[in-house]
Chain A
């Protein structure tokens, strides 16, 4: 009997361990007294410098960095909130809901500007605009589109060139894509016109920024809309054929956010990690590559439509809302 229970426990833990992580990395000494488990949707490369710095300052601490998609991350966290100490995600709405549902610890003593945190529980540490990514070949005959209007004009000018070679997020599979789309729609009617134009050209839909940028780099796709600018900028360093444009009419900007799990056993270390992290991304070392764009003061981003960190974001998670929006989006994009 005892063996049986041990077997079940072993199976269970191995099943949990067998979670399919996109990436998994351990920082710090292997025999560290305390290990912080960080659940994240951000590629390791973007944060490894920061975590190295943290474990260097705190030699007793190890950091286990686990990467997965935002939806999966949300699910895993809700299933096992005690297993993870910190959650880093680009899906602001999901993160907000985690806080609203009481999964996060309030860190009253962590200093942060008012608009970059909610309830002192969820802290934004980057401001990343959605960008238009172009293959440079397009620019041979055309000037770079600065605004959405410019983009519409460009697409309409040469429909045959762009047919089946424009791309955007599939909002049905991408949380971030849905957030960007909903924000765009809230900000301007231009979004729907652009969507219809793109729909008319047989837009290809992607799940993720990375694959979209890769497709542009390969020349399969000429124009990708609402791509995460930070990733695109990183890729552009290796692929000179990529042009990244942040629209000047308005640029929907999301914040990458972090929270400390309320059921974490390592509250103090987790809090210190957040403080260190906010500090780090507020003034990143130039040597670091790739970089995540830092939060700027409000004044420094006139055209940036930073998605406000407020519970109203939960509306995008509402089933009815999503249904209605998706229906409208589908009718525009999938023709």
Chain B
């Protein structure tokens, strides 16, 4: 996916960018509202991440500009303020969602997905492996064309695996992605979800193989 990150703090911007690159996203970074307007006017983005406090003004003025141009690129506002002290509903101003800094990237992903799902617009293609397909935006897995209902964590696990077939994911890496930091679960908890996915994939040509000591990999039978 292609993001526009509007953030004046370079450190944070770099941190966020590198974290997003790790997930395979493309990030353009704008430091000021002026730059952000230029980027958004010229480029195509799946989503805009907008810091609300910027050196050349309030992020809200960008939102107004953005909505005035009748663009439907969803915007998630990143704010360091609390809702109570701000007393202004950011959603009323035209943002699709907001997150308070510091934020969890997993939560960001979830929100991005939710926003995109609501807006029905994305450049994300449907991934197909064998007779299994996965629509990352809709969060929909199909086995032989039939939709399979997955729980959220199953979905996220499957998305990780299908995004990089043939790559072995260690248990700890999968754990990091599946559980939040305040959930202290053992790595073996991942086996439950792998088990469930395997059950869903049983009728298909796709399977999850265990590589003892290394982790799991999505393979074609």
The answer to whether any beta carbons of A and B sit under 8 Å apart in the complex is no
Chain A residues packing against B (C-beta within 8 Å) = none
